[in-house]
Amino acid sequence: MKKYSVVILLLIVNLFTFNFPVFSQGFSSHQIDSLVDESFKAMPDQAGIAIAVIKDGKIVHSKGYGVNSIETKEKVDENTLFAIASNSKAFTAATLAILVDEGKLAWNDKVIDYIPEFKMYNPYVTADFTIIDLLTHRSGLGLGAGDLLIFPGSPDYTINDILNSFQHQKQVSSFRTKFDYDNLLYIVAGEVVKRVSGMEWTEFVESRIMKPLGMNRSAAAYARIPMRTNIATPHSSETGTLKTISADDNYELIAPAGGIYSSIKDLSSWVLMQLNKGKYGHELKNQIFSEQRQAEMWYPYTNLNFRVYADKNSGNHFQGYGLGWFISDMKGYIVIHHTGGLAGMLSQVTLIPELNAGVIVLTNSIPGGMSYSTISGSIIDALTGNKTRDRIGEMKTRLEKSQSNADSVLTAVWNTSKNPFEAGIDVNNYIGIYEDPWFGKVEVFKKGEDLYMKALRSPLLTGKMLFYKATTFAVKWDYSDMNCDAFATFHLNPEGKAIEIKMAGISPNIDFSFDFQDLHLKRIKE
């Protein structure tokens, strides 16, 4: 989901370490406190962090640090709710696993058997697309294909728009051959749950998973949070100073892909159930899903990488993707994990089944909250006996370098760009309405002495257009919670009138969910 350099967050293959002694049973709470303190000192643009560690059936650490909001100063604790973003995907896989256990569907059933209007980019893929294909990021579509339907968010788009979009998306690899992270197909998976069970996915996950596990403060979407207290506010320092930004709370369409809000206390129940092979409750007599279903969810269907000789630092040989989980190895142990990110919110959940251990880290800051990975990895290193090193320092250096590079690119663009009227551009050649078959209409229009662009169905994407070079304009969106400004390059006919627009993000750090490059906007009206 929407992340600070989502490629870094969701395709993370190395777990991070810090220079503490290794203990076979993991860090003590005091050592975790010290690690967090060091993280805040190294990267002060952070608001809050919540950390839970599970070992041998017990919660051995559960604590909040920092604040829910730099404005209210309310402290983070174990009950503070955070958006867990793409860590919701494991819940979606679990809802389907429940239905498989009940005999209501099978993993290899065809999606069109449940959603007849489902249509991919060619007839063969449409006909052969299975439930497993919805969950394994091997569709043949590109990274984050169609994510502009859900980011930065608009209640105008519906499940029908999602289902209609895939046939218009560009195939970038052969079906089932390559990993490219996909959010929209998880939304389709949620629709399968609805059509099979007769319940909305949000109702199903709350009633069949959260309620039995006692996850009483958690909710499948922001609007469904039962108690509107102690909720972390997202923060960002991308513009230079840490500030609060808007929560992704406007609609429930994205819920199966990344809508859940939860706390480390509630997620500890989820992790304990996972480590107990689907069982929970007194003497583990109750079950969410069967051990067989869990084995299927933890199977690496899609390969990300493989090496015969292990990485010298982590002992890692492979990285794959199962059903809602990344799967890799470290020092001989299988590690089941996932990251998540929305604007101002980052999370990581990690399980080491053979050690009966789990680590949960939730943060509410971007990009300083990237420390969630360093903290998770430090604890995991201690559990697995992995080699330690100063990963907090490395992360700080990496972020500073990345931000410096982005700043230099953006400064060059904005210093070059100017008001098109002042540049002598005949804006009448560009004004009009353009349309993309999956995204919808975009209007280019005059507003006073400025030229503007707005997406008619995604109104947060409205912004001033500045002339850059040739037929390219730089669009500075009014939406600024994430750095997603874009280039708009016009193709002109022989008379000099614009007939289509191609777009691309400006910042090298732009989140991949802002897939402007996949738009093909053709002029339909002057």
Q: How far apart (Å, rounded) are the C-alpha atoms in residues 190 and 187?
A: 5
pLDDT at position 1 is: 54
Q: How far apart (Å, rounded) are the C-alpha atoms in residues 221 and 352?
A: 28
Residue 519 lies in a domain: yes
Residue with tokens 């099978």: 106
Helix (H) / strand (E) element for 197: namely: helix 184-197
Residue 19 lies in a domain: yes
Residue 488 lies in a domain: yes
Structural domains in the chain (count): 2
Same domain flag for 355 and 449 = no
Query: Would the CA dihedral through 30, 35, 38, 40 be positive or negative?
Result: negative
- Which of 404, 432, 465 terminates a domain? The answer is 404
Q: Are 472 and 501 in contact (CB under 8 A)?
A: no
Same domain flag for 446 and 481 = yes
> Which residues are CB-neighbours of 433 under 8 A, at least 6 positions away?
441, 442, 443, 444, 523, 524, 525
pLDDT at position 248 is: 67
Low-confidence residues in the chain, pLDDT < 50: 2-24
Residue 514 lies in a domain: yes
Helix (H) / strand (E) element for 269: namely: helix 264-275
310-329 pLDDT, tens digit per residue, is 888 788 899 999 999 999 99
pLDDT at position 377 is: 87
Residue 211 lies in a domain: no
Same domain flag for 269 and 399 = yes
- Which of 346, 373, 404 terminates a domain? The answer is 404
Same domain flag for 326 and 427 = no
Same domain flag for 315 and 464 = no
Structural domain for 325, as ranges: 6-87+232-245+264-404
Residue 214 lies in a domain: no
Helix (H) / strand (E) element for 144: namely: none
Residue 146 lies in a domain: no
pTM: 0.94
Same domain flag for 515 and 487 = yes
Same domain flag for 397 and 450 = no
Q: What are phi and psi of 156, to 5 degrees?
A: -70, -30
Q: Are 266 and 50 in contact (CB under 8 A)?
A: no
Counting runs of H as helices and runs of E as strands, what totals does the chain give?
14, 23
The β-bridge relationship of strands 333-342 and 286-287 is unpaired
pLDDT at position 10 is: 36
Same domain flag for 386 and 510 = no
Q: Are 212 and 288 in contact (CB under 8 A)?
A: yes
Same domain flag for 399 and 436 = no
Q: Are 477 and 488 in contact (CB under 8 A)?
A: no
Same domain flag for 286 and 427 = no
- Which of 404, 437, 457 terminates a domain? The answer is 404
Same domain flag for 423 and 491 = yes
CATH code, domain with 396: 3.40.710.10
Classified as helix, coil or strand, 371 is helix
Same domain flag for 466 and 516 = yes
Residue 75 lies in a domain: yes
CATH code, domain with 446: 2.40.128.50
